[in-house]
Chains A and B, each alone.
Chain A
Amino acid sequence: MLTFRDIPIKQKLMVIIMATTTVALVLAGVGIVAADSLLFRSYLKRDLSALARIAADNSTAPLQFNDPRVAADNLAALRVRTHLVAACIYRPDGTVFARYLRPDSNSGCPSAGGPDEQRFSREGLIVSRAIILNGQRVGTLVLLYDLDEIAERMKLYGITVLGVLLVSTLIALLLSTKLRAVIATPISHLVGATTSVSETGDYSVRAQRFSRDELGVLVDRFNEMLAGIQSRDHNLRTALHDREEALRDAEKARERFRFLAESMPQKIFTATPGGVVDYYNRQWTEYTGLTFAQMEGDGWKEYLHPEDVEPVFEVWTRSLATGEPFHAQQRVRRADGAYRWHLSRALAMRDPQGRISMWIGSNTDIHEQKEKEDELRRANEDLQQFAYSASHDLQEPIRNVAVYSEILAKRYSNLLDADGRQFLGFLTEGGRRLATLIDDLLAYTRAGVVESNMTAVDSSAVLGHAISSLAEAIRENEAVVTCDALPRVHMGESHLQQVFQNLIGNALKYRKEDPPRIHISADHQGAAWRFSVRDNGIGIDPHYKEKIFGVFKRLHRDQKYSGTGIGLAICQRVVERYGGRIWVESSPGQGATFFFTIPEHAPRVHSAAV
């Protein structure tokens, strides 16, 4: 069974209207009847009291002159009051003097109560009144009035209330039909709209607004909410679509990358920003004979040469930390167990925010190249060894030639004719030059050897030693050598001194007429120190800027500038051995400035490094 809570709103409205109307009318009816009953009773009391007073006054003379007939006639005149049941006059001794009884009355005179008393009894309203003459009570008048009138009035009221109730019920019924249109219809429409939305999922539905009251506001808010949901739904669909598209694009890009990676001759891999390798191309598996599962993650330790694992891991870790490109040479085991040299490189790929999204790396087989390099290096070393031994072994005989030709020239020149002395002079000169040449060659070959147990040296102290060695030449040339504060660098002390000595020596040699002025300074350039040696000499034609660093290259053939032409070659060889470079900036007649760089940190020397 439906409770009141569950019945439709239009029926609720009807019930409420009817209940309100009925309660109001019944209460009003009861109130009116109660009030009227009270008022009527009090009116009746007053009315009967007045009647009793008049009747009592008219009864004095009959009482005084003992004329009950006249008194009875007077009382009979009261019969026009149809509700008067009885009217009696008592003598002071309580006996009835005269009376009037309504013909239908079946009771006698009501008993006399106190003087001037009104009381309601079962028979009706009883009014007693003392009959006073000349200040003396000469009798008592008693009236009995029935209350049929009150009952009649009550009945009339009851019928009226019932009638009004009936009419108002009819009006309420009519009103509720109208109210249905005002309240229930908009609600029905709203319910229809919500049902439609929930059943079809179509958020473009809108509820119709009928009024500007709370229901209208409700409909407006509902529509706004629907609009909000519709727009959000649309955005969600668009976002989903975009996301699907992006995923498709990403998938496409990945496939393209895979295809590219698979089609390349190199071994390609990718790694997460944390350095975990998550992709190897087909070339890898074919080369190593390992499955992807064996190689992924830390699997690279499996195929790398045991000696290379630690150094490569160190470089890889540094690249992961700094984001700088990874660069290493490593030996990778082939399926047949042979290790081949590979150049491994990896670059960090960054997202638009600059964060590393992945590492992409390639391994190129450089085994043949490396073999050739090693071969070349070995040949070079042999050659150097040979040159060193040769020049070392040549030093002694050459010195003998020079020494003895000089002795010969001193002691026996007088035994020789002019031609003989000239030839001897040629011999002596040639011997001296040969000795110098051998010394320089020796220095050059030595320059190719990097000193072990290298520590940082104070370059200004080294410069001091170089200047001391050149003290005589400086004095002869009346040159002025100045310098700024110089740093400590990781370099062999003798090597640095050799560079300084050669460059200063050059500046003294290629001087102009003016006394040479030479200035040495150093500044920081990236991860290296840049030294400069500036002079005010004859300068160098830019055309020869590169050539001057070749072995035995001399720009000036005349005797004015002596030398073997090996000094700058030695400088270049030393500087490059330490990972730096050397160059000159100059123009003829404007002096020249030689620059060379030395890396700030000690070069890493290990078997896998370049």
Chain B
Amino acid sequence: MEQVTPSGFRRSKQRAARLLCLAMGIGLGMLCAAGGAEEASEYQVKAAFLFNFTKFVEWQAAAFAAPDSPIVICILGDDPFGTVLEQTVAGEVVNGRKVAVRRMKQAPPPKSCQVVFAGRPGKEVLKLLPGLGPGVLTVGEGENFVRGGGMIAFVLENRRVRFDINQAAAENAGIKLSSRLLSVAKSVE
């Protein structure tokens, strides 16, 4: 059931232009959208943020199955990204590891996922969180996600995508969040 999107996969010229715009504006979705012909959608920005989180997070070695295992971003439940996330991480390498995307309905086995994005409905996902074990960064949507034990939650502020952080939850899971990440968070618990 696991599906890895191959990097460098091109579908059409129009998609390629969008990709280029994204590549240039990694983390700058709004601007890219403002300057681009079409506005970047909310999930395009969230996909970029989701990928960017991996750059400000330190996992313990035990969080991976092997030294050369990729950083796997697992989408639990509904997938709001479509192909955008695959396009975002295609060909990227973070801290010497490739980045991959998986989708799953059930809680993943240990060391198979380093990032878990909880799609809607979030309440079922919240129940799964304690079973994920250490070494997994959990990302969700809405203020309630961090209050429910999630580590990072996307929130909208004046139609701008921002995020809250539950630092304690991350520390409990053996995940170290960069202070630079904390400095740009909307709120840190």
Contact of A66 among B31, B55, B178, B183 (CB under 8 A): B31
Q: Which 6 A-B pairs have the closest CB atoms?
A: A61-B180, A64-B27, A67-B184, A65-B184, A64-B52, A61-B184
The smallest beta-carbon distance between B70 and chain A, in angstroms, is 15
Complex CA distance for A70 and B27, rounded to whole angstroms: 14
Q: Besides the contacts A61-B180, A64-B55, what 5 more A-B pairs have beta carbons closer than 8 Å?
A: A58-B183, A66-B28, A66-B31, A91-B28, A133-B55
Q: Quick check: A66 and B27 within 8 Å, CB to CB?
A: yes
Contact mask for chain A residues 138-172; partner B; CB cutoff 8 A; 1 contact, 0 none: 10000000000000000000000000000000000
Contact mask for chain B residues 26-65; partner A; CB cutoff 8 A; 1 contact, 0 none: 1111110000000000000000010010011000000000
Which residues of chain A come closer than 8 Å to B26, judged between CB atoms? 64, 136, 138
Contact of B27 among A57, A65, A95, A135 (CB under 8 A): A65
Contact of A91 among B31, B94, B178 (CB under 8 A): B31
Chain B: which residue is nearest A134 at the CB level?
B55
Q: List 12 A-B contacts (CB under 8 A).
A: A61-B178, A61-B180, A61-B183, A64-B56, A65-B27, A65-B163, A66-B27, A66-B28, A93-B24, A93-B25, A133-B55, A138-B27
Contact mask for chain B residues 167-189; partner A; CB cutoff 8 A; 1 contact, 0 none: 00000000000101101100000
Interface hub of B95, B163, B183 (most chain A Cβ within 10 A): B183
A63 sits at the interface (CB 8 A): yes
Which residues of chain A come closer than 8 Å to B93, judged between CB atoms? 135
Chain B: which residue is nearest A60 at the CB level?
B180
Contact mask for chain A residues 180-207; partner B; CB cutoff 8 A; 1 contact, 0 none: 0000000000000000000000000000
Contact of B52 among A57, A65, A70, A93 (CB under 8 A): A65
Contact of B180 among A58, A134, A135 (CB under 8 A): A58
Complex CA distance for A60 and B94, rounded to whole angstroms: 15
A92 sits at the interface (CB 8 A): yes
A62 sits at the interface (CB 8 A): yes
Which residues of chain B come closer than 8 Å to A57, judged between CB atoms? 180
The smallest beta-carbon distance between A429 and chain B, in angstroms, is 195
Which residues of chain B come closer than 8 Å to A67, judged between CB atoms? 184
Chain B: which residue is nearest A92 at the CB level?
B24
Q: Quick check: B94 and A134 within 8 Å, CB to CB?
A: yes
The smallest beta-carbon distance between A347 and chain B, in angstroms, is 144
Which residues of chain B come closer than 8 Å to A138, judged between CB atoms? 26-27
The smallest beta-carbon distance between B127 and chain A, in angstroms, is 29
Q: Quick check: A61 and B181 within 8 Å, CB to CB?
A: yes
Complex CA distance for A240 and B13, rounded to whole angstroms: 134
Number of B residues whose C-beta is below 8 Å from A? Answer: 21
The smallest beta-carbon distance between B84 and chain A, in angstroms, is 17
Contact mask for chain B residues 149-164; partner A; CB cutoff 8 A; 1 contact, 0 none: 0000000000000010
The A29-70 residues at the B interface (CB cut-off 8 A) are: 57-58, 60-67, 70
The smallest beta-carbon distance between A569 and chain B, in angstroms, is 175
Complex CA distance for A67 and B31, rounded to whole angstroms: 11
Complex CA distance for A61 and B188, rounded to whole angstroms: 15
Q: Quick check: A62 and B55 within 8 Å, CB to CB?
A: no
Q: Quick check: B94 and A62 within 8 Å, CB to CB?
A: no
Contact of A61 among B29, B56, B95 (CB under 8 A): B56
Contact of B95 among A66, A93, A95, A134 (CB under 8 A): A134
Which residues of chain A come closer than 8 Å to B180, judged between CB atoms? 57-58, 60-61
Complex CA distance for A522 and B187, rounded to whole angstroms: 172
Contact mask for chain A residues 84-95; partner B; CB cutoff 8 A; 1 contact, 0 none: 000000011101
Given contacts A70-B183, A70-B184, A134-B94, contact A65 B24 (CB under 8 A): no
Complex CA distance for A63 and B94, rounded to whole angstroms: 17
Chain B: which residue is nearest A57 at the CB level?
B180
The A422-438 residues at the B interface (CB cut-off 8 A) are: none
Complex CA distance for A461 and B14, rounded to whole angstroms: 179
Contact mask for chain B residues 108-122; partner A; CB cutoff 8 A; 1 contact, 0 none: 000000000000000
The smallest beta-carbon distance between A149 and chain B, in angstroms, is 31
The smallest beta-carbon distance between A95 and chain B, in angstroms, is 8
Which residues of chain B come closer than 8 Å to A70, judged between CB atoms? 183-184
Which residues of chain A come closer than 8 Å to B27, judged between CB atoms? 63-66, 138
Complex CA distance for A67 and B27, rounded to whole angstroms: 9
The smallest beta-carbon distance between B25 and chain A, in angstroms, is 8
Which residues of chain A come closer than 8 Å to B52, judged between CB atoms? 64-65
The smallest beta-carbon distance between B19 and chain A, in angstroms, is 16
Given contacts A134-B55, A134-B95, contact A62 B29 (CB under 8 A): no
The smallest beta-carbon distance between B51 and chain A, in angstroms, is 10
Which residues of chain A come closer than 8 Å to B49, judged between CB atoms? 65
Complex CA distance for A302 and B92, rounded to whole angstroms: 157
Complex CA distance for A162 and B29, rounded to whole angstroms: 62
Complex CA distance for A60 and B182, rounded to whole angstroms: 12
Contact mask for chain B residues 92-104; partner A; CB cutoff 8 A; 1 contact, 0 none: 0111000000000
Complex CA distance for A57 and B55, rounded to whole angstroms: 13
The A75-134 residues at the B interface (CB cut-off 8 A) are: 91-93, 95, 133-134
Which residues of chain A come closer than 8 Å to B29, judged between CB atoms? 66
The smallest beta-carbon distance between B114 and chain A, in angstroms, is 15
Complex CA distance for A135 and B96, rounded to whole angstroms: 10
The smallest beta-carbon distance between A519 and chain B, in angstroms, is 162
Contact mask for chain A residues 354-373; partner B; CB cutoff 8 A; 1 contact, 0 none: 00000000000000000000
Which residues of chain A come closer than 8 Å to B55, judged between CB atoms? 64, 133-134
Complex CA distance for A66 and B52, rounded to whole angstroms: 11
Interface hub of B29, B163, B180 (most chain A Cβ within 10 A): B180
Which residues of chain B come closer than 8 Å to A63, judged between CB atoms? 27-28
Complex CA distance for A135 and B178, rounded to whole angstroms: 17
The smallest beta-carbon distance between B110 and chain A, in angstroms, is 26
Complex CA distance for A64 and B178, rounded to whole angstroms: 13
The smallest beta-carbon distance between B77 and chain A, in angstroms, is 24
The smallest beta-carbon distance between B21 and chain A, in angstroms, is 10
Chain A: which residue is nearest B45 at the CB level?
A66
Complex CA distance for A362 and B184, rounded to whole angstroms: 155
